[in-house]
Chain A
Amino acid sequence: MSENGKNTDTLIEVKDLSKLYPADSGLFSGGDTFIHAVSGLNFSIKRGESVGLVGESGCGKTTTGKLLTRLIEPTEGSILLNTESGDMDIATMTSKETKDFRRRVQMIFQDPYESMNPRLTIYDTVAEPLDVQGIGNISERQARVSELLQTVGLTPASSFLFRYPHELSGGQRQRVAIARALVIEPDFIVADEPTSMLDVSVRTGVMKLMQDLAERLEVTTLYITHDLAVARYMCDRIAVMYLGKIVEIGETEEVLQNPRHPYTKALLSAVPIPDPTYKREAVDIKGGVSKPINPPARCRFYPRCPWADDYCESHDHPPLEDKSGDIHFTSCYHWEDNLEK
């Protein structure tokens, strides 16, 4: 199977997806400067799969998540969502279709303190999607919400139903957010850093819950995180982003054990290891992250790359390719020459 090839069990297919933001927002300015937050993304997610989107702040991972949930509209490209009645293009759908789309796609946000209306009870919070979609009557909704609260580990559900978000801890709130996302049985969930605000001991519980639910309810997930170690546990495949581009994508263990792109290598060697005797490799890149404002037509990683040469400078950003044929895609002209390094 090729990465872009059509496959029946493909749920989401992203084609040439770009999002540009104007960088000079003045009334009379020319309007020809753009931040290329996401630029030319191509990837697909299979049904039941969990794909991790990793990278540093500003790499475009959250923008991608927002595009996939249609919280923002893309500048270019298409996002096809496979449904029983054919493909639905998230990028160009009408407002009528949006309601159906919201039943299929849900989002979990990073901050459990900000993503909930403080004036709504837990019942109202979780039942809101049912209300919006007009599913069930009151008693059915109550039963459904109670069942969901049990599922996410808030037991007994009756003791949580009529409490307010401020009465719950961060971990409990994030469980409510998960219940709310699952209550209408979506096909696809975008989870944006759902555990990064939680403490280690609470985080493990939420991670395990999400893994368990994804398996049991066969939900497909795009898991956005800056934490590679968390991605290792949560994702079947991971995509590494750098300045609006996916630079590497492949099966999680394969990417972590045999990174090919110089940026992935650097990112991995920068992660602190919880073992005082472990000696990490030195991070081999220069400088810092810039902003992708009207980026020149060359590899986005060129200014920081230890392998950069004239070829990289004079050619466009390298395509995301799988020359080895092992479903491990890399966007670099020199990864093969540097395999042993």
Chain B
Amino acid sequence: MTEPLLQVENLTMHYTTRAGELSAVDNVSFSLKKGEALGLVGESGCGKTSVALTVLKLLPENGYIKEGKIIVNGKDIVPYTEQEMRKVRWGEISMVFQAAMNALNPVYRVGDQIIEALEEHQPQMTNKEMKQKVTELFELVGLESALMDRFPHEFSGGMRQRAVIAMALSCGPDMIIADEPTTALDVIVQDSLLKEMREFQDQLGMAMIYISHDVGVIAEVSDRVGVMYAGRLAEMGTAEEIFHDPIHPYTMALMSSFPSTVGEKTDLVLLPGEPPDLLNPPTGCRFHPRCPYATDVCKEEQPEFKEHSPGHLAACWHPRGEQS
């Protein structure tokens, strides 16, 4: 087996707030192979964006990595300085965020902003090569190359998000982290963008971490899926395992509370309560106050994130709701 592109081991990240320590990411481990698409799904505050920010070491001032390793292409980047991280970002891992409007500078032409990134990371390229590269990137993400001389305000929401993706691809990264890239877009625009993302991911053999709260989108883009709850990974497996054979009661509830336009109109399952406050997380399994199968052990001890079948992991004392 080849070495994974990204290996996250026992990663714990805390925010220091006035109210105390907030454990946003707690003991998370996963790996990503070359060319693989991993979907991270969960609700607001479950830590999916925090995982992305931690992997890129783009944490705000009050966030710090408490424990764990982030191994990118065989090297642990946790001790890296900001200077060293700059080479990792864009070159090895690049990112696309939800608010495309904020990622583009309104007073520069879109093409020039991509060229700026190229100048920084690929200084050996000539101007002509850079122009050529921008043309290729635009085509790759489904934008007409003539648009590179336009300004961001002349772009629609979908076009801006494509431009940001083109920028993220400019330095030929091994993997891209996309955090809710289509959430602000209408479904028809989202559909074509998702299609293109799958296409170029395939074409470039690039790995991707796709973060979304939308179970439907995750089903479409992911080879493997990680389900997060309250800062921890609840379950991880292939997309089919997660959607058709979930182990963790939270995954089970998530899948059956998500409405669909096709198939039989089944009753939506109601999960009581709300996600916990991470300043004061529940003891044991963090899902136990909302779990229909919870017993005493769930309140006291944190279940291990362990393999139930090859590649299918979950952290639960009562997998599939079984009581021993």
Contacts and interface: CB of A to CB of B under 8 A. Distances in A.
Contacts of A267: 187-188
A288 interface: yes
Interface string B154-194: 00101000000000000000000000000000111111101
A272 B220 contact: yes
A102 interface: no
Interface in A258-281: 266-278
B239 A200 contact: no
A54 to B, nearest CB: 10
Interface residues of A, number: 40
Interface in B221-246: 222, 239-240, 243-244
A207 B263 CA distance: 20
B254 A201 contact: yes
Interface centre among A226, A267, A270 (most CB of B within 10 A): A270
Chain B interface residue bracket vs A: 35 or more
Contacts of A289: 186
Contacts of B194: 272
A207 B257 CA distance: 11
B268 A201 contact: no
Given A272-B194, A288-B156, A200 B187 contact: no
Given A201-B271, A276-B219, A270 B261 contact: no
Interface stretch (A85-93, A229-237, A305-313, A325-333): A229-237
B239 A276 contact: yes
Contacts of A172: 274
B219 A272 contact: yes
Interface in B133-148: none
A136 interface: no
Contacts of A269: 191
Given A56-B188, A272-B220, A288-B158, A200 B261 contact: no
Contact of A171 (B158, B220, B269, B274): B274
Contact of A199 (B188, B213, B270): B213
A256 interface: yes
A57 B187 CA distance: 10
Given A200-B43, A227-B259, 11 more contacts: A199-B43, A200-B257, A230-B259, A233-B259, A270-B190, A272-B187, A275-B243, A276-B219, A277-B244, A283-B191, A288-B158
Interface of B: 43-44, 156, 158, 186-192, 194, 213-220, 222, 239-240, 243-244, 253-255, 257-263, 265, 268-272, 274-275, 290
